[in-house]
Amino acid sequence: MAARSRLTPERESELYEAVLDLLREAGYDGLTMDAVASRTHSSKATLYRQWGSKAELVAKALRSNKPVSLAEIDTGSLRGDFLTMVERSDTCQMEKDSALMRGLAHAVHENPDLHQALRELLIEPEMTGLDELLRRAVDRGEVRADNPALKLVPHMLIGAVVTRPLIDDRPVDQEFLATYLDAVVFPALGV
Amino acid sequence: MAARSRLTPERESELYEAVLDLLREAGYDGLTMDAVASRTHSSKATLYRQWGSKAELVAKALRSNKPVSLAEIDTGSLRGDFLTMVERSDTCQMEKDSALMRGLAHAVHENPDLHQALRELLIEPEMTGLDELLRRAVDRGEVRADNPALKLVPHMLIGAVVTRPLIDDRPVDQEFLATYLDAVVFPALGV
pLDDT at residue B191, rounded to an integer: 93
Is some CB atom of chain A closer than 8 A to the CB atom of B179? yes
Interface test with B, best of A172, A176, A184 (most B CBs within 10 A): A184
User: How close is the nearest chain A Cα to the Cα of B4, in Å?
Assistant: 36
| Rounded Cα gap, residues A188 and B91, in angstroms | 25
Q: What three-state secondary structure class fits A164? A: helix
Contact A96, A17 (CB under 8 A): no
Return the residue of B nearest to A105 by Cα.
B102
Is some CB atom of chain B closer than 8 A to the CB atom of A166? yes
SS3 per residue for chain B: CCCCCCCCHHHHHHHHHHHHHHHHHHHHHHCCHHHHHHHHCCCHHHHHHHHCCHHHHHHHHHHHHCCCCHHHCCCCCHHHHHHHHHHHCCHHHHHHHHHHHHHHHHHHHHCHHHHHHHHHHHHHHHHHHHHHHHHHHHHCCCCCCCCHHHHHHHHHHHHHHHHHHHHHCCCCCHHHHHHHHHHHHHHHHCC
pLDDT at residue B2, rounded to an integer: 40
Residues of chain B with C-beta less than 8 angstroms from the C-beta of A156: 156, 159, 184
Residue A10: other Cβ atoms inside 10 A: 8
Q: Where in chain A is the domain with CATH 1.10.357.10?
A: 66-189
Residues of chain B with C-beta less than 8 angstroms from the C-beta of A187: 149, 187-188, 190
Is some CB atom of chain B closer than 8 A to the CB atom of A102? yes
Is some CB atom of chain B closer than 8 A to the CB atom of A67? no
B4-43 burial string, b = 16+ CB within 10 Å, else e? eeeeeeeeeeebbebbbebbbebbbbbbebeebbeebebe
pLDDT at residue B45, rounded to an integer: 94
Q: Which of A150, A158, A156 is CA-nearest to residue A184?
A: A156
Q: Where in chain B is the domain with CATH 1.10.10.60?
A: 9-54
CA A126, distance to chain mean position in Å, is 8
| Rounded Cα gap, residues A129 and B49, in angstroms | 54
| Rounded Cα gap, residues A153 and B182, in angstroms | 14
Contact A144, A190 (CB under 8 A): yes
Interface test with A, best of B163, B176, B182 (most A CBs within 10 A): B163
Is some CB atom of chain A closer than 8 A to the CB atom of B113? no
The CATH number that domain B9-54 falls under is 1.10.10.60
Kindly determine whether residue A184 and residue B154, on different chains, have CB atoms separated by under 8 Å.
no
pLDDT at residue A1, rounded to an integer: 38
pLDDT at residue A134, rounded to an integer: 96
Is some CB atom of chain B closer than 8 A to the CB atom of A117? no
Kindly determine whether residue B108 and residue A166, on different chains, have CB atoms separated by under 8 Å.
yes
Is some CB atom of chain B closer than 8 A to the CB atom of A180? yes
Q: Where in chain A is the domain with CATH 1.10.10.60?
A: 9-63
In order along its 191 residues, chain A shows pLDDT tens digits of 343 467 888 899 999 999 989 988 888 888 999 999 999 999 999 999 999 888 889 888 877 766 556 778 899 999 999 999 888 877 776 777 777 777 787 788 777 877 877 777 667 777 788 899 999 999 999 999 999 999 999 999 989 988 888 788 888 889 999 999 999 999 999 99
Residue type, A51: W
Interface test with A, best of B95, B115, B166 (most A CBs within 10 A): B166
Interface predicted TM-score (ipTM) of this complex, two decimals: 0.79
| Rounded Cα gap, residues B191 and B188, in angstroms | 8
Return the residue of A nearest to B178 by Cα.
A148
Contact B163, A159 (CB under 8 A): yes
Distance linking the first and last C-alpha atoms of chain A: 56
Low-confidence ranges of chain B (pLDDT < 50): 1-4
Q: Which CATH superfamily is domain A9-63 in?
A: Homeodomain-like (1.10.10.60)
| Rounded Cα gap, residues B63 and A44, in angstroms | 43
Return the residue of A nearest to B157 by Cα.
A159
| Rounded Cα gap, residues B169 and A127, in angstroms | 14
Residues of chain B with C-beta less than 8 angstroms from the C-beta of A183: 147-149, 152, 188
Could you tell me which CATH class the domain A66-189 is placed in? mainly alpha
